[in-house]
Chains A and B, each alone.
Chain A
Amino acid sequence: MDETIQLAHGAGGRMSALLTEKVLRPILGNPILDRMHDGATLDMGEKIAFTTDSYVVAPRFFPGGSIGRLAVCGTVNDLAMTGAEAKYLSLSLILEEGLAVEELRRVLRDVRAAADEAGVAIVTGDTKVVGHGAGDGIYINTAGVGEIIAGVDIAPQNIRPGMDVVVSGFLGDHAATITAARHGLKLPETIQSDAAPLNGLVKEMLHAVPEVACMRDPTRGGVAASLNELAAQSGTGILLDEELLPVRPEVEGVCELLGFEPLYLANEGKLLAFVPAEKTDALLDVMHAHRYGKEARRIGTVTEKAPGQVAMKTALGGVRIVDMPTGSLVPRIC
């Protein structure tokens, strides 16, 4: 890999995977880390889950959220994806010299509101300040622990051919909002970041359908990256149906303008679930009853064919590959 860190190493695609596989895991690997799921499950008497994530986003405030809301939701959701109910979060702040305290307060109020909504407590933390120019205003790291919900076993290795792939709602709202905010594109007010804690939704899903085999929140790299990871980890193929993908026309519009595909856009309040086909309807029923699952739908199936590959039946009836994203999303020229 290239000898300097480039932006693409942080974009959730193949370059990020290379950084993990070639640099981080060879030095830090151990059996728990090597399961490579969104959080680690630890056996410490009770079954608990543990995860950490760092948040850097520009702009810091955007329609539907802020870096503060993201920092809570992201970690709560990573725990939820392992089948755990988040309990406690840590909060580490790296602040740049010169940041207005009022701005920090705004961020913290968003942290508090999201934590209250998710029902988690911020129980420990740390603050560091770096010199002017050495950071970008504010960076946040949160770590979280949660308890595994009794009787569930969520892991990529549980995905089997014949299962359905379900998504909890519209794709790409978060990335489209951020991109538009960053580049001064006007989006209708109906489009805002989907940043939301999914632990409540997950709890109801697992209570009604404990057979859910795996879940993942399609953040950086979008649905395409998450499904490619899961196809590789489970040794199965995944076949999506283009006509079933829920994408708002406005988000489709942003994509057309910039040459993006909704499947590659980050979401901050969506989940993918793998469920035995005979349980799909029951799962969708409980999801539709929850505020963060109203638009849930089946988008594809797990296949024996093409293990490790994600493909999509197009509206015209062709089938094409949905590849792992390779770097940062960049707009096309014309």
Chain B
Amino acid sequence: MNEKTAQAKERELSARLLEEIKRLTAGRKQPMRLMEVCGTHTVSIFRAGLRQLLPPEVELVSGPGCPVCVTPDGYMDEAIAYAGMEDVIVATFGDMLKVPGTSSSLAEAAARGGDVRIVYSPLDALAIAKENTGKKVVFLAVGFETTAPTAAAAVLTAERENVGNFFLLPAQKLVPPAIGALLSDEDARIDGFLLPGHVAVVTGSEKFSFLAEEYYLPGVVAGFSPTELLRGIYRLVRQVTAGEAHIENEYKSVVRPEGNPAAQKMMDRIYETCAAEWRGLGEIPDSGLRLRDEYSRFDFSAARPLDLPPAPPKKSGCRCGEVLQGKILPKECRLFGTACMPEHAAGPCMVSAEGVCAAWYKYGGGIFQYG
């Protein structure tokens, strides 16, 4: 099949899915609220111009699926403090550079002379450690189930190769407990979940069955192309209108019910679950990963504890917390697009490429009307 025919087929399929979604939801009194949990989904939805194609009866809200966004101020303050130390190299995913801590950011720490390196993988950070034996290299281990296995692999490699100057600043988080926490809030009004494809590759789709069993809510694991997203949304709409609740997998090419056992084993070997602080959601039991005792020597916050004052609550009026819970839309925040823009962000949701506020801002304030 040549490229043009494939494109035409996709377009035709998308048009039919949209038609079906419209037909199924026509005349609903209250719009159904579907939450996409993953930041990459959020951005893909905006890039495809999907929001404006959906009928008003289907509302998409974004959840806490941007790793940068849910990282609390206190963690940034620690990373910034370490970046200011002579013998430390901070290695991080680029997204973290501009996230504001209490009074500064890593980008500013780098401009002041701190050694902050952007890496694409924890293994790059390990390579930096091997090249700079006189320095301590601290990798900012943030992210979800998608990044935890590679961080685990880096630790295991460092152990095997006796690299003594490689550390993590661990703040890895798990998605399913956060969804559970969202739903235990009485204000949560969510009718179904578009589940994160990449996370599910590791966890498996079964990990999300609690949604149907405990909360009687449907969930669909979806891929990232416009048509895959539409397919996922259509499946959710179909379940909601039929009053059903089960977990479907629309990303079968890469997601298995049981996930990736090798990655899970690797994580399990070096990490154990712990309570973790999420920006906006507060502390959620069993939603974080910390290094097991055997590997705690790789935890830089233990190797060199800091005595920082707890991050004070933000006075700026930033409402990232509520945005991350799907309680308000970015445009309902007083700062959105005025005091808070990508160049000078008040909160992390405007900083990260995958942040909800950044996506709203970048792609025209939600539903964009041309002209």
Given A316-B50, A320-B363, A15-B370 contact (CB < 8 Å): no
In the assembly, what is the distance between CA of A329 and CA of B363, in Å?
17
User: Is the C-beta of B285 less than 8 angstroms from some C-beta in chain A?
Assistant: no
B189 / chain A contacts, CB cutoff of 8 Å: none
Given A6-B110, A317-B53, A332-B118 contact (CB < 8 Å): no
**Which of A115-123, A196-204, A270-278, A303-311 touches B?**
A303-311
User: Is the C-beta of A319 less than 8 angstroms from some C-beta in chain B?
Assistant: yes
In the assembly, what is the distance between CA of A18 and CA of B343, in Å?
10
Contact in complex: A316, B343 (CB < 8 Å): no
Instruction: Indicate with 1 or 0, residue by residue over B245-279, a CB within 8 angstroms of chain A CB atoms.
Output: 00000000000000000000000000000000000
Given A258-B120, A334-B143, A305-B94 contact (CB < 8 Å): no
Contact in complex: B98, A315 (CB < 8 Å): no
In the assembly, what is the distance between CA of A328 and CA of B95, in Å?
10
Size of interface on B: residues with Cβ below 8 Å to A: 53
Question: Among residues 239 to 258 in chain A, which have CB atoms less than 8 Å away from a CB atom of chain B?
Answer: 239, 243, 256, 258
A7 / chain B contacts, CB cutoff of 8 Å: 107, 110
A220 / chain B contacts, CB cutoff of 8 Å: none
Contact in complex: A306, B124 (CB < 8 Å): no
In the assembly, what is the distance between CA of A183 and CA of B48, in Å?
28
Contact in complex: B118, A334 (CB < 8 Å): no
In the assembly, what is the distance between CA of A328 and CA of B11, in Å?
33
In the assembly, what is the distance between CA of A314 and CA of B93, in Å?
29
B94 / chain A contacts, CB cutoff of 8 Å: 328-331
In the assembly, what is the distance between CA of A315 and CA of B48, in Å?
7
Question: Among residues 202 to 235 in chain B, which have CB atoms less than 8 Å away from a CB atom of chain A?
Answer: 224, 226, 230
Pick from B10, B47, B108, B142: contact of A2, CB under 8 Å: B108
Question: Among residues 102 to 149 in chain B, which have CB atoms less than 8 Å away from a CB atom of chain A?
Answer: 107-108, 110-112, 118, 120, 124, 142-144, 146-147
Contact in complex: B111, A333 (CB < 8 Å): no
Given A2-B108, A306-B371, A334-B198 contact (CB < 8 Å): yes
A127 / chain B contacts, CB cutoff of 8 Å: none
Instruction: Indicate with 1 or 0, residue by residue over A1-28, a CB within 8 angstroms of chain B CB atoms.
Output: 0101111100000110010000000000
Question: Among residues 184 to 241 in chain A, which have CB atoms less than 8 Å away from a CB atom of chain B?
Answer: 237, 239
User: Is the C-beta of A318 less than 8 angstroms from some C-beta in chain B?
Assistant: yes
Contact in complex: A5, B111 (CB < 8 Å): yes
User: Is the C-beta of B166 less than 8 angstroms from some C-beta in chain A?
Assistant: no
Contact in complex: B371, A321 (CB < 8 Å): no
Contact in complex: B10, A315 (CB < 8 Å): yes
In the assembly, what is the distance between CA of A215 and CA of B199, in Å?
44
Contact in complex: B40, A334 (CB < 8 Å): yes
User: Is the C-beta of B330 less than 8 angstroms from some C-beta in chain A?
Assistant: no
In the assembly, what is the distance between CA of A328 and CA of B39, in Å?
19
Contact in complex: A331, B47 (CB < 8 Å): no
User: Is the C-beta of B295 less than 8 angstroms from some C-beta in chain A?
Assistant: no
Closest A residue by C-beta to B96? A333
User: Is the C-beta of A53 less than 8 angstroms from some C-beta in chain B?
Assistant: no
Contact in complex: A316, B93 (CB < 8 Å): no
Contact in complex: A327, B370 (CB < 8 Å): no
Size of interface on A: residues with Cβ below 8 Å to B: 40
B370 / chain A contacts, CB cutoff of 8 Å: 239, 305-306, 311, 319
User: Is the C-beta of A261 less than 8 angstroms from some C-beta in chain B?
Assistant: yes
User: Is the C-beta of A153 less than 8 angstroms from some C-beta in chain B?
Assistant: no
Pick from B14, B43, B52: contact of A319, CB under 8 Å: B52
* Main DSSP-derived SS at the A contact region: loop
User: Is the C-beta of A326 less than 8 angstroms from some C-beta in chain B?
Assistant: yes
Contact in complex: B147, A333 (CB < 8 Å): yes
Contact in complex: B67, A334 (CB < 8 Å): yes
A239 / chain B contacts, CB cutoff of 8 Å: 370
Q: How far is the CB of A321 from chain B (nearest CB, A)?
A: 4
Q: How far is the CB of B79 from chain A (nearest CB, A)?
A: 14
Contact in complex: B111, A320 (CB < 8 Å): no
User: Is the C-beta of A259 less than 8 angstroms from some C-beta in chain B?
Assistant: yes
Given A315-B10, A319-B52, A321-B363, A332-B368 contact (CB < 8 Å): no
Closest B residue by C-beta to A307? B371
A317 / chain B contacts, CB cutoff of 8 Å: 11, 15, 49, 53
User: Is the C-beta of A285 less than 8 angstroms from some C-beta in chain B?
Assistant: no
User: Is the C-beta of A323 less than 8 angstroms from some C-beta in chain B?
Assistant: yes
In the assembly, what is the distance between CA of A6 and CA of B111, in Å?
6
Contact in complex: B146, A334 (CB < 8 Å): yes
Q: How far is the CB of A171 from chain B (nearest CB, A)?
A: 15
In the assembly, what is the distance between CA of A332 and CA of B351, in Å?
12
A4 / chain B contacts, CB cutoff of 8 Å: 108, 111-112
A183 / chain B contacts, CB cutoff of 8 Å: 120, 124
Closest A residue by C-beta to B10? A315
Given A15-B343, A183-B120, A243-B7, A316-B49 contact (CB < 8 Å): yes
User: Is the C-beta of B77 less than 8 angstroms from some C-beta in chain A?
Assistant: no
Given A316-B53, A330-B353, A333-B147, A321-B111 contact (CB < 8 Å): no
User: Is the C-beta of B354 less than 8 angstroms from some C-beta in chain A?
Assistant: yes
In the assembly, what is the distance between CA of A334 and CA of B98, in Å?
17
Contact in complex: B107, A8 (CB < 8 Å): yes
Contact in complex: A320, B364 (CB < 8 Å): yes
In the assembly, what is the distance between CA of A313 and CA of B368, in Å?
11
User: Is the C-beta of B82 less than 8 angstroms from some C-beta in chain A?
Assistant: no
In the assembly, what is the distance between CA of A195 and CA of B333, in Å?
44
Could you list 21 examples of A-B contacts with CB < 8 Å?
A: A4-B112, A6-B107, A14-B343, A239-B370, A306-B370, A311-B368, A319-B49, A319-B370, A320-B47, A320-B363, A326-B343, A327-B342, A328-B94, A330-B94, A331-B95, A331-B120, A332-B353, A333-B68, A333-B93, A333-B143, A334-B39
Question: A316-B49, A331-B94, A332-B93 are known contacts; what are 18 more A-B pairs with Cβ within 8 Å?
Answer: A2-B111, A6-B107, A7-B110, A8-B98, A18-B343, A259-B354, A303-B371, A311-B368, A314-B47, A315-B7, A316-B53, A317-B11, A318-B48, A330-B97, A330-B118, A331-B120, A333-B67, A334-B147
Query: 7 closest pairs, A vs B, by CB?
Result: A318-B49, A330-B94, A305-B371, A334-B146, A321-B364, A4-B111, A326-B342
